[in-house]
Structure 1
Amino acid sequence: MSASGTQSPAPRRNIMFPCDQCPVAYGDRGQLERHRLIHAEQAEHRGRTEQAAIERAFAERANAERASSGRFRNVCPFCQGRFTTIRVLKRHIDAYHAVEGNPQNSCQRCLRYKLRCNGSSPCGWCDADNRAEFCMFVPPEIMSAPIPGPGPGPASAPRRASDSALPTAALADAHAAAASPRQTQRAASARPASPDAASAQHGCAPQPSAPGHPSADGRATGAANLTGSTLNLAPALPDPGEVDIQAGSLGWLDFKLSSVGSHDADNNSASGSPPRATRGYSSQVGDPGTQESFGSHSATCRSLVLALDSMDLLFRAPCIPLIAGLSGAQVKLLPGLELLRRLVNNFFLKWQKVQPIFHVATWKFAKCPLALLGAMACIGALLDEDDETVHQAHIISSRCVAVLNIMAIIPPDRGPDVRFLAAVCLHQTYLLGSGDDNIYHHVDRVRAFLTGNLRRLELLGSGSGDESRSDAGFETVSQPVQAEWTTWITYEQAVRTTWAVFEYDCSVSLLTNRPGVIELGDLPLRFPCADELYEAPDAQSWGELRSRLPNRAQGPLVSDVVAAATGSASPLSRDVSPWTRRLCSLIFERILRGFGRRDQRDSTVAACRHIGLDFASVCMQNTATVIWAISFLAKSIPGDETTAPLSTSDLVNFCSTQMIRHYSQLSLNTDVMGLITYIAREAASRSSANSRTSLRWAQQKLIDLFAMDPPKSRQYIWHAGQMVRIAKVYTAIAPCDNLRIFSAYLAIIAFAKYGPSSLRDVDGVEPFQADAWPVCETDVERWLQSGGPARIGSCHRIQVGCSTDLIMQDAFQVLNRLENWGVAERFISILAHFNRLDVLGG
């Protein structure tokens, strides 16, 4: 109280108005009210979304009940397909079975196949199917010529008929007759056969007149003869929707995935669970999506946020600081250092066994470039046991991209650093496994950058692996053993980096269906050295081991390993490492893929000569030698029940090489796998409505190819079953292994939907164990020839027309073990779309 007796006012307190729905407080009530409006809008949007989901689920359940009880009365008169409403049926008929229009406004191809023609040149259907050369408008006087009836000759004389005059009812009968045998085998809608096959079944295919029976065409008029000459001069008309599968893209990263709710309403199949959203990984620095994910991730703990911020500061530093010398503001770098060290330790603990590039005994954390540490941390984050660290791997990747870009713009004066190339290779492997759609657009530039720098270092090209770099270069008398060891480590690490880039090139080729950039003739002449020599802890141990190994300080020659694998030379020596055997399997796989492409056969022949492989043994008519060589390399690695694995490296390389062996068997028939890939891409991509005809053609073509050779078709089940067994033995962590496992389940579902049936597909027949091990060759051959149901994992009865729900559950469980790689989630989504696709493809 003051001297005058008046009381001083109390100090004013800052009043905060907290939000009752989130831990946010404001100093002004008006700001709080505006903040609450955001929650109200979010709640309203969430309510609308939930209500729409409930209504959609109710509609799907009602449709499923009506389908199971046979209450779908809207039947297509052409293909016998059943549809939910009359509007959907009308849209289906307009799209696929439009009635014949005005002959003057319809092209010849649309008239033949009863397609709606818009009268343009080329018309919409011919333009959508890339068949503009077949879009011909025939004059009315030619189209209105009388159709000659059967002549008075013998009944065996063929009857001439014009395909363009085939009645609508006859076409519908042909479709129904072609689809009727399949209706008894499948629960899905009937598949209309191609128009050519339907015409052949009814005897309406255009055939030449018999020379000995002039009466067959004696009644034909001059106009009719003109019609026949006009049609015969043109090239053979393709089926509606026919596409050149091999000419298009068959990669898995160059298209956007469609959501489950975007399927057309006339797709009656509702089997399969909805796929999860593909995890987005951004490779661009400063990407808004990355920053938003980093700032708004509610589950990220505060310590991880501090560590990531600290790592951001660390990547801006010129080098790794010493922990003992941190003081003042540099203390903020300590959490980032600890997180980076932990992730790098994860890399050496788990990934080093997959690709033993670096020399562990002499590797120093403080002396390693930041770019290489960042690339290691990206892969180490995916392999971390903390889920929050896994979710933030793309943030670490964005920091790494900034450092790599700076080093790429300002290269060192003495040429490219091999450690920088190793960092680029590892980081691109991470991005490739993330499943990001943007990776597809710049992957070729990255491969060209890596191969160009390796050629500058003479690690690739005609001078790579020169024999002048012999063992004598490391055995100079004046040089001490320690200096020899240091020089040898630098050279061997460069060789291993080159082979790691080759593996990355093979992975890109598999995932994108693009040819490999590295030619086999440009590879080093020698593989990496023996593991025992590379893991020597000191110079003395290295010198002792070097004197006892057959190849001294170098790896085995590529030509020697190839000759031993093909049986034309002595068996493999003990110093051939498991990684070397896997690399040799990749070379054989590259040869098989090269002969499968017409534009790569010449370069493949030259590559065979370079590695000492006989060209006649790897031609497309005789691939048994290459397949046998891959099988031999897989069996030479300890890993099965007869020869237990001796190390983690044995187990990793055994599983990966066995996967290569069975995947090569699946890929031998490029037509079948190309069709399966095309159908899966079309089912999962945001394709236009015009592509539905091409999808129907591809489905029918796949059915025909499977039916041509049932024993060969059943090989897909056996090889896929063996791949599933291998995937359950060891969790494969390389992106290419994810693709091979995904392809195995894709082949299983394709066989169940489109494969040929057998007489043994009945109840009471014991299913064949397709994933059994060890394998009884007699039982396998008996099942391939006679057929019958198969069993893989939890799917106890796999046969044509069976339910694919258990197959999808098993695929989800296996691929979900690899969920840290974003590409695994992408494969799960594609499988779900492929499984939901109706056999009609509508």
Structure 2
Amino acid sequence: MIPQSSSLGSETHDLPSIASPQQHSNASARVASPILTPPVLPQNGFFINDEASELDWIFQDVRGEYLDAVGVPADCMLPDPMDFGLLGLDPQRQCLNAQEPAASYQLTGDPQESWLLDRPISASQPLDLPELGSKNVQLIAGSYVQLERITDSDRAKMQRSIMHFLERPIWTPVSLVTFPSKEKLDLCIDLFFAKFHLVISFIHRPTFNPTAVSEVLVLAIASIGARFTYLDGAAAFANAMAELARRLLLSMGQKDTRVTRSESYMTAQLLLGIYGYSSGDKSWFNYSEASRCSLVRTAKHAGLFQDQPRTAASSGDSTETRWMAWVAAERRRRLGWAIYEFDASVSFLHNERPAFSTGDMALSLPCDVARWEAHSAHSWKALCPWTQPDGELVKFRTAARSLFDASLAESVQLSDGQHLYIVVVTLARFLWSIKELQVSPLMDVVPENWPLIEHKGNLLDKLDQYLVSPYTARASETDRNIQCVAGRALIIHTSHLYGSSDLMDWLPAMLRSSGSNQAAKERMMRWGSEDRQRLRKVVYHSAQILAICRDFPFNNPYEATYVFHAGAALWCAVTMLEAPILESATNEDATSLFLDKNAAEGEADYSKVMQWIREDGNFNVGLYGVPVLGSRVSRLQVLEETVRVLQNLRVWDLSKAYANVLRQLIRSEGANPQI
């Protein structure tokens, strides 16, 4: 579908100035059924709610040999209410638009999903079909509608089908002859913690004990860690281990639905979801998309997106006891945030509707990394604020409103890298929601004049305030902080692609057809002519994404998707930059300008880039591997450079699938250079 947007007008906004953002928190909470800690804590608890355009086509050349077709069905999508009052409108309009989320009215009680229902039937019970009426009942002759009657052979066929499909094992037998040795398992687990770094960590490494947690969680961790071993057959082994974990999850959930609310189950499901999107396997990709919705729904019903009541520590509790209680509460909070970030990132990057409503998020922001990663109870205690050991909790809703509400901005100072990352992910998610509203079939006929373009502009401007160049950060930050800064920058630059009208809606159609989709091609040309400044901004942000992923690769599961989007958007934009640039491309008086060069605000090169975006001008514009954007060979050079960057992202096979799509486009370009 190619959504209309020509009536939306120009969406050009000022370019970001690369500057540092403005300048936390935690609580001691009751032990929340920990699963990831040593045997000091109970091991198999459950979370109880104490308050109430698919991209799988990119795998066209990839064969999934390890997976069966069994997956978890997607649950109903949750609504995504927009709080337009946050986006800079006048107070009167805020009152008309803003409303309290349902999460504000939830009370303590039973788990949400069962308050209307009887207790579930145990999966271990045999399924005996009850008799419908007595054998001697007289049925009414005739029928209301004239349909073919069921015959005895039809009835027998139904019975045979039931017995055939339900009594036959779902999966073929599993061979564990080559199951890895304990040394190899230890290596995979070790590499998981050493190499797999997400901005929001949700497994507490100092207290994690692989011998005391659920086997399915160990399998999920080992499958990801195996990707970092670079041993022969690592990818195939990782896929097979992940498949074993997936089958265990399905079997466990079928035997007892309550286990789906356990911490180990949801943690393993989250890890496998991340794995599936990045594995490069079509079956795994589709499984992850289905399980994402299931995971969000289960976590919501388990109360994972609500803060637990805080209980005061007893004066007789030892430091070790207080630490373990704090770890359990913080780990629970971080798992909720990790699921939120997973859903928001995937929906944003893959242009899919989120499964989670931000109105349901009632968690406080996670604590600082230093306390979370403290190696012992006493090192944790030393990092706790003396005046307020539990920290000052910052609610998500308060933090989000502080971005636009001046009365809250001074009292809520966000400086922690995790908090800034959550803020950026949330703003990007809001941007996607506005894009979704713009393609509504009623958007151009409803009587209300919704200022959606103004909202997008406000969101993009706010996002730009949190943009820090990783080139600047590397001079004074640790690798962990640089990774956080780079991840934030990638989201912000990609947000500008999503904020460029309907670019990210027609772009997949162009790629799927290797540039031959006529309707998408026509829309592309109209899009390029509507706003030339917007076109140049897309070129700039795409070049920045390629530069960051080329110079700061951290083997993040989402890096390949950023590169793919940037390279594809740049390929389209170069097509439309071609005509005006050709006139000056060989002009010796033109100034050479490299859009992916590190240039801080105030430097001459940065000012030239801003001038080119605003006014065009006499510039020879290029980037690494593409000397002159707009030349006849630049389209091919853009694709080739994007493939080179993808080839260096070797841990996750999704990069190979993206590279295959671009290689096919390169072949199409070579055969038919005129698009």
- TM-score band, normalised by shorter chain: 0.5 to 0.7
1:742 aligns with 2:564: yes
1:832 aligns with 2:663: yes
| Residue of structure 2 in register with 1:537 after alignment | 375
1:779 paired residue among 588, 593, 608: 608
| Residue of structure 2 in register with 1:696 after alignment | 518
1:347 aligns with 2:192: yes
- Correspondence list, 1:266-285, <5 A: 277-278=61-62, 280=64, 282-284=66-68
One-letter identity of the residue aligned with 1:540: H
**CA positional deviation for 1:840:** 8.7
| Residue of structure 1 in register with 2:307 after alignment | 465
Q: 1:45-99 CA distances to partner (integer Å, 9 max, x unpaired)?
A: xxxxxxxxxxxxxxxxxxxxxxxxxxxxxxxxxxxxxxxxxxxxxxxxxxxxxxx
1:629 aligns with 2:462: yes
1:489 aligns with 2:327: yes
CA distance in 2, matches of 1:418, 1:251: 29
CA contact 2:196–2:556 (8 Å) conserved in 1: no
Greater relative contact order (Cα < 8 A, sep 6+): 2
CA contact 1:617–1:623 (8 Å) conserved in 2: no
Greater CA radius of gyration, 1 or 2? 1
Paired positions, count = 504
| Residue of structure 2 in register with 1:671 after alignment | 502
| Residue of structure 2 in register with 1:430 after alignment | 275
| Residue of structure 2 in register with 1:238 after alignment | none
**CA positional deviation for 1:557:** 2.2
1:580 aligns with 2:419: yes
CA distance in 2, matches of 1:740, 1:564: 28
- Correspondence list, 1:793-812, <5 A: 793-799=624-630, 801-812=632-643
**CA positional deviation for 1:253:** 1.4
1:683 aligns with 2:514: yes
CA distance in 1, matches of 2:484, 2:405: 21
CA distance in 2, matches of 1:406, 1:496: 26
| Residue of structure 1 in register with 2:248 after alignment | 403
CA contact 1:254–1:512 (8 Å) conserved in 2: no
**CA positional deviation for 1:536:** 2.0
- Correspondence list, 1:206-605, <5 A: 250-254=53-57, 257=60, 277-278=61-62, 280=64, 282-284=66-68, 313=176, 336-411=181-256, 416-439=261-284, 441-460=286-305, 464-465=306-307, 469-470=309-310, 473-548=311-386, 552-553=390-391, 555-566=393-404, 568=406, 569-570=408-409, 576-598=415-437
**CA positional deviation for 1:419:** 1.7
Q: CA separation of 1:771/1:445 partners in 2, compared to 1, >3 Å: closer, same or farther? A: closer
Give secondary structure in 2 for the equivalent of 1:669: coil
One-letter identity of the residue aligned with 2:621: A
Give secondary structure in 2 for the equivalent of 1:633: coil
CA distance in 2, matches of 1:312, 1:488: 41
Q: CA separation of 1:281/1:585 partners in 2, compared to 1, >3 Å: closer, same or farther? A: farther
CA contact 1:435–1:823 (8 Å) conserved in 2: yes
Q: CA separation of 1:807/1:791 partners in 2, compared to 1, >3 Å: closer, same or farther? A: same
CA distance in 1, matches of 2:333, 2:483: 21
Q: 1:228-251 CA distances to partner (integer Å, 9 max, x unpaired)?
A: xxxxxxxxxxxxxxxxxxxxxx33
CA distance in 1, matches of 2:659, 2:628: 22
CA contact 1:529–1:554 (8 Å) conserved in 2: no
| Residue of structure 2 in register with 1:62 after alignment | none
CA distance in 1, matches of 2:651, 2:189: 17
| Residue of structure 1 in register with 2:585 after alignment | 761
**CA positional deviation for 1:571:** 6.2
Q: 1:651-710 CA distances to partner (integer Å, 9 max, x unpaired)?
A: 1111110001110011112323322221112228xxxxxxx6xx2232133122212322
Give secondary structure in 2 for the equivalent of 1:634: coil
Q: CA separation of 1:800/1:716 partners in 2, compared to 1, >3 Å: closer, same or farther? A: farther
CA distance in 2, matches of 1:518, 1:396: 29
CA contact 2:260–2:266 (8 Å) conserved in 1: no
CA distance in 2, matches of 1:286, 1:506: 25
CA distance in 2, matches of 1:345, 1:284: 29
**CA positional deviation for 1:406:** 2.4
CA distance in 1, matches of 2:271, 2:259: 23
One-letter identity of the residue aligned with 2:358: L
**CA positional deviation for 1:736:** 2.8
CA distance in 2, matches of 1:476, 1:484: 9
Q: 1:6-37 CA distances to partner (integer Å, 9 max, x unpaired)?
A: xxxxxxxxxxxxxxxxxxxxxxxxxxxxxxxx
**CA positional deviation for 1:474:** 4.5
CA-based RMSD: 3.4
1:711 paired residue among 520, 526, 533: 533
CA distance in 2, matches of 1:837, 1:709: 28
Q: CA separation of 1:424/1:645 partners in 2, compared to 1, >3 Å: closer, same or farther? A: farther
CA distance in 2, matches of 1:443, 1:756: 40
**CA positional deviation for 1:425:** 0.7
Give secondary structure in 2 for the equivalent of 1:798: coil
**Percent of aligned positions that are identical:** 17
The TM-score, its normalising length taken from structure 2, stands at: 0.68
Q: 1:720-750 CA distances to partner (integer Å, 9 max, x unpaired)?
A: 1111121122214333332111111112211
Give secondary structure in 2 for the equivalent of 1:767: strand
CA contact 1:589–1:664 (8 Å) conserved in 2: yes
Give secondary structure in 2 for the equivalent of 1:789: strand
The TM-score, its normalising length taken from structure 1, stands at: 0.55
The answer for unaligned runs of 5 or more in structure 2 is 3-52, 72-173, 442-448
**CA positional deviation for 1:502:** 1.7
| Residue of structure 2 in register with 1:36 after alignment | none
CA distance in 2, matches of 1:279, 1:573: 50
**CA positional deviation for 1:782:** 1.7
CA distance in 1, matches of 2:183, 2:413: 40
Give secondary structure in 1 for the equivalent of 2:307: coil
CA distance in 1, matches of 2:478, 2:673: 50
CA distance in 1, matches of 2:438, 2:523: 24
1:659 aligns with 2:490: yes
**CA positional deviation for 1:545:** 2.6
1:792 paired residue among 589, 605, 623: 623
Q: CA separation of 1:413/1:424 partners in 2, compared to 1, >3 Å: closer, same or farther? A: closer
**CA positional deviation for 1:565:** 4.2
Q: CA separation of 1:803/1:545 partners in 2, compared to 1, >3 Å: closer, same or farther? A: closer
- Correspondence list, 1:3-152, <5 A: none
One-letter identity of the residue aligned with 1:251: E
CA contact 1:278–1:826 (8 Å) conserved in 2: yes
Give secondary structure in 2 for the equivalent of 1:834: helix
CA contact 1:721–1:770 (8 Å) conserved in 2: yes
Q: CA separation of 1:415/1:806 partners in 2, compared to 1, >3 Å: closer, same or farther? A: closer
The answer for unaligned runs of 5 or more in structure 1 is 1-127, 130-249, 258-276, 288-310, 315-331, 603-615, 685-691
CA contact 1:565–1:633 (8 Å) conserved in 2: no
Q: CA separation of 1:794/1:683 partners in 2, compared to 1, >3 Å: closer, same or farther? A: closer
CA distance in 1, matches of 2:631, 2:523: 16
